Amino acid sequence: MGEEVIEVNKYYDWWFDNAIEFLGYLLEDKLKIKVNWEEDKISFEKLNDKQIKHLIGEIERLIDYKLKYKKVNKKTQIKESKLRTYLPAIHNGKYVGILKKIKEKDKIFNTKIDFLSKNIKNMKNSKICDVCGNYYTPFDKNINKLTQIVYPSTTTSLKSLCGIRKPQPENTCCIKCAFLGSIEWLDDYPFISVYGTSSNKHCLLFPLLNNLQELHKFKNIMRNPNTGIFEQKEHSNILNSKSTDSYSLLLNIYEKLYEKTKIIRELDKILCDDWVELEIKNGFFYVKNLKIPNLERLKKIFESMFYKYSWFPYSNFIKYTFAKPLKSGNINNDLSNENQYLMSKGILMDDFKTFAKAFQIRKGCIVGFKRDIGNFKDKKDKLNIIMESWRGI
Amino acid sequence: MVQFESHELETMRKAGWIIGSIGKTYISEIYQLDRVRSAEEFEKVIKNISLRAIKIGKEGEKCKDYEEAISKNAFKNLIELINKYKPNFDEIKDIILIYSTFYLGIKYN
C-alpha cells in the first residue's frame, strides 16, 4: 500500500507550489481522485493508464482554452481564436516543451510522465535535476532544458544576464519539474494586459502561501463560480476590471472576494496577504513580491464603505478618476493611470504618503472625477468615508 | 501613523475646502503648501493663505463652503492642530492637500 501512494513534495517556490496545487486540483476536481492535502506535500494513489490518459486529455483541453482568446474581427465580424503570444508557452505560433509533446499521448503517458504512476528512485546513468535536486534519466533535449516555460524567471540566452541566483542557460530539469512548470501556465491566476503607446505590459498574480492546504483552499475560493471573479476575456480574466497595474488589480480582487465571501462567510479565516507579481514587459520577465502589511485596516475601510453605502474604494472611486489639466486641454492618460496606481498602492500598502501623491498637482494636471461616480455630494462623501475609516480612530 | 479624532478630521476637511476655493485664483498657494518642510513653515503658509481668504472675501467672491469654514474658525483650529501634532505635521499637510486639490478638481474646470 505504501508504494502505491505517490507523493509530490513542496518546492518552497511560488511557481512550483502553485503548480503542485494545480495538479492536485486537476486530479481532485476533474479526475475525481482522492488527493490528500498536507502542509508540505500532496499524496494520491498511483494513476493507471486510463487515468493518465484522462489527465492528458484535460490538459490538452485547457491548452486551447487558456492560452488562446476570442476576438471579433472588426472587418468580417467573425470571432477569431488568437494566441496569447506574450506567454513563453508559444513560439512562432507553436506550443513548446511539454505542451507541444503532450499531443503525442501514446509515447508520453507511460514513459515520460512516470512520476504520476510510480515512485522514482535513484537510477544509474542519471543526472541531477537543477530544480529539485533529484536524479533523472535524460531523454529529450527540448524537454529537459530549463526554459522560461518551466520556470518564468529563467534567462535563457546569455549567462552574463543571469546573475548568481537566477537559473543559468545550461541548466536542465527532470520530467517532473518540466511537467509541473509547464502546466502552471494553464492555472487560474488573475492577470491583466495593458497595451500602451510605448510598451505593452502584462501582469500575472500568484498567491504565496506556505501551507499547500491553505493555498488550495484560497485558490478554490477564487475559482468558485459563486464568487464570480474569473472570466475568459481578451485583456484580463477578472470580471469588469479596467485596471492598468497590479495594485489596482489586486485591490479589485480583494473587493470582489470581500463582497462575495461575506455572504458565504469563508473569508474571515483565510485571506492571502502575500502575492507574487510576474510582469512581462518587452519580452522580459520581472518577479516582484507584493506583501500587504495591514490587512485589518483594509478590512476596516471595506467594512465602513460597504456596509454604509455598498461602495468600494477601487470599483466606486479610484476607477472613475482621471488627470485633467488645470487649464483647458485633453485628459492625460498616462498620468491618469499613474494616479490610479498610486491610490491603489497607497490603500493596499497602508501608505498614506503614496495615496496623497496622487492628488498632487503634477505636470499641470489635477485629479478629476467622471460623471458616473455621482454628483458633488457623492464625490465628497466617498472621499470622506475613505479618510475617516483610514485616518480616523 | 497618527489616527485623528473625527472633529480633527472635520477641521482639516474644512480648511482643505477653503484652500481649494482659494486655489482657483491663487494656485501658487497650493504649490507652496506642497513644498513645506517644517511645522513653522507650514504655519507661515497657512497664515498667508488666511490673508488671501480675507482678500477674496472682501472682493465679494462668495462660496458656501468657504463661508462655513470661516465662520467656524477653520484656520485657527488648524494652527492649533499643527501645534498639537508638531512632529507629524507632514501627515496633516497630506490630508489638507488631498482635500484642497479634490475640491479644486470637482468644483472647477
Sequence-separated contacts (24+) of A192-195 with Cβ below 8 Å? A192/A235, A192/A236, A192/A238, A192/A241, A192/A243, A192/A244, A192/A245, A192/A246, A192/A249, A193/A86, A193/A234, A193/A235, A193/A236, A194/A235, A194/A244, A194/A245, A195/A235
**Confidence at residue A115, expressed as pLDDT on a 0 to 100 scale:** 66
If you search the block for the grid coordinates 475640491, which residue do you land on?
B103
B95 reaches A (C-beta below 8 A): yes
pLDDT of A281-317, one tens digit each?
887 888 888 888 888 888 888 888 887 778 888 888 8
> Is A207's pLDDT higher than 70?
yes
B91 reaches A (C-beta below 8 A): yes
B3 reaches A (C-beta below 8 A): yes
**Confidence at residue A341, expressed as pLDDT on a 0 to 100 scale:** 92
Residue B8 contacts residue B78 (beta carbons within 8 Å): no
**Confidence at residue B95, expressed as pLDDT on a 0 to 100 scale:** 92
Inter-chain CB proximity A350 and B1 less than 8 Å: yes
Neighbours of A105 (CB within 10 A): 14
Mean pLDDT of B83-102: 90
**Confidence at residue A157, expressed as pLDDT on a 0 to 100 scale:** 63
E strands, chain A, where?
Answer: 5-9, 35-37, 41-45, 68-72, 79-83, 90-91, 94-95, 127-128, 135-136, 191-195, 200-207, 274-281, 284-291, 321-325, 365-369
Residue B34 lies in a domain: no
> Is B66's pLDDT higher than 60?
no
**Confidence at residue A30, expressed as pLDDT on a 0 to 100 scale:** 86
Best mean pLDDT range from A33-42, A190-199, A383-392: A33-42
Residue B8 lies in a domain: no
B6 reaches A (C-beta below 8 A): yes
Inter-chain CB proximity A392 and B27 less than 8 Å: no
Residue A326's alpha-carbon distances to A358, A363, B28, B78, B87, in angstroms, are 15, 10, 12, 27, 33
pLDDT of A262-284, one tens digit each?
655 555 555 788 899 998 888 78
Q: What ipTM was estimated for this complex?
A: 0.90
Residue B16 lies in a domain: no
A393 neighbourhood in chain B, CB within 8 Å: 3-6
> Domain of B54?
44-109
Residue B65 contacts residue B24 (beta carbons within 8 Å): no
> Is A1's pLDDT higher than 50?
no
Inter-chain CB proximity A324 and B31 less than 8 Å: no
* Mean pLDDT, all residues of chain A: 81
SS3 sequence of A276-319:
EEEEEECCEEEEEEEECCCHHHHHHHHHHHHHHHCCCHHHHCHH
Residue B108 lies in a domain: yes
Q: What nine digits make up the cell of A184?
A: 502552471
**Confidence at residue A2, expressed as pLDDT on a 0 to 100 scale:** 47
Which pLDDT band holds residue A22 (cuts at 50, 70, 90)? very high
pLDDT of A58-106, one tens digit each?
888 888 888 888 888 888 888 888 888 888 887 777 777 777 766 665 5
Inter-chain CB proximity A366 and B105 less than 8 Å: yes
Nearest CA-CA partner of B46 in B6, B9, B83: B83
B104 reaches A (C-beta below 8 A): yes
Number of folded domains that form chain B: 1
Distance from the Cα of B53 to chain A's closest Cα (Å) equals 21
At residue A268, the 3 state secondary structure works out as coil
B24 reaches A (C-beta below 8 A): no
Nearest CA-CA partner of B102 in A328, A380, A313: A380
Report residue B100: phi and psi, to 5°: -70, -45
A353 neighbourhood in chain B, CB within 8 Å: 90, 94
B31 reaches A (C-beta below 8 A): yes
B24 vs B59: CA distance, rounded Å? 14
Inter-chain CB proximity B101 and A359 less than 8 Å: yes
Residue A178's alpha-carbon distances to A115, A221, A285, B98, in angstroms, are 12, 27, 18, 51
Residue B31 lies in a domain: no
In this structure, of A94-98, A185-189, A222-226, B11-15, the range with the lowest mean pLDDT score is A94-98
Give me the residue from A353, A360, A388 closest to B9, CB to CB. A388
Give me the residue from B3, B90, B102 closest to A359, CB to CB. B102
Nearest CA-CA partner of A83 in A60, A63, A56: A63
B52 reaches A (C-beta below 8 A): no
pLDDT of A308-343, one tens digit each?
778 888 888 888 888 888 877 788 888 888 999 999
CA angle, A152 as apex, A150 and A158 as ends, to 5°? Answer: 100
Inter-chain CB proximity B106 and A376 less than 8 Å: yes
Inter-chain CB proximity A388 and B6 less than 8 Å: yes
In this structure, of A152-161, A203-212, A346-355, the range with the lowest mean pLDDT score is A152-161
Residue that wins the pLDDT comparison between A78 and A136: A78
Inter-chain CB proximity A376 and B34 less than 8 Å: no
Inter-chain CB proximity A355 and B98 less than 8 Å: yes
A343 vs A317: CA distance, rounded Å? 10
Mean pLDDT of A25-39: 89
- Tell me the one-letter amino acid at A344: S
- Residue A296 neighbours by CB under 8 Å, 6+ apart: none
> Is B106's pLDDT higher than 50?
yes
**Confidence at residue A127, expressed as pLDDT on a 0 to 100 scale:** 81
pLDDT of A165-180, one tens digit each?
667 777 888 888 888 8
Give me the residue from B1, B95, B101 closest to A366, CB to CB. B101
How many Å separate Cα A359 from the centre of its chain?
30
DSSP string, A12-79: SSHHHHHHHHHHHHIIIIIS---EEE-SSEEEEEPP-HHHHHHHHHHHHHHHHHHSEEEEE-TTT--E
pLDDT of B11-36, one tens digit each?
888 888 888 888 888 888 899 998 99
Distance from the Cα of A111 to chain B's closest Cα (Å) equals 60
Neighbours of A204 (CB within 10 A): 23
Angle of the B89-107 helix axis to the B27-35 helix axis, nearest 10 = 160
B65 reaches A (C-beta below 8 A): no
In this structure, of A51-55, A64-68, A211-215, B67-71, the range with the lowest mean pLDDT score is B67-71
**Confidence at residue A265, expressed as pLDDT on a 0 to 100 scale:** 54
A383 neighbourhood in chain B, CB within 8 Å: 98-99, 102
- Nearest chain B residue to A358, by CA: B98
pTM of structure: 0.87
Mean pLDDT of A196-222: 85
Inter-chain CB proximity A361 and B101 less than 8 Å: yes
A346 neighbourhood in chain B, CB within 8 Å: none
Percentage of chain A lying above the pLDDT 90 cut: 7
**Confidence at residue A21, expressed as pLDDT on a 0 to 100 scale:** 92
Q: How many residues does chain A have?
A: 393
Residue B60 lies in a domain: yes
**Confidence at residue A118, expressed as pLDDT on a 0 to 100 scale:** 62
pLDDT of A357-386, one tens digit each?
999 988 888 888 887 777 777 777 788 888
Side-chain-facing half-sphere of A274: CA atoms under 13 Å: 7
A&B contacts, CB < 8 Å: 70
A387 neighbourhood in chain B, CB within 8 Å: 9, 13, 95, 98
B19 reaches A (C-beta below 8 A): no
Report residue A381: phi and psi, to 5°: -60, -45
Residue B32 lies in a domain: no
Top residue of B1, B30, B108 to mutate, by most chain A CBs within 10 Å, is: B1
In this structure, of A231-245, A259-273, B78-92, the range with the lowest mean pLDDT score is A259-273
Residue B37 lies in a domain: no
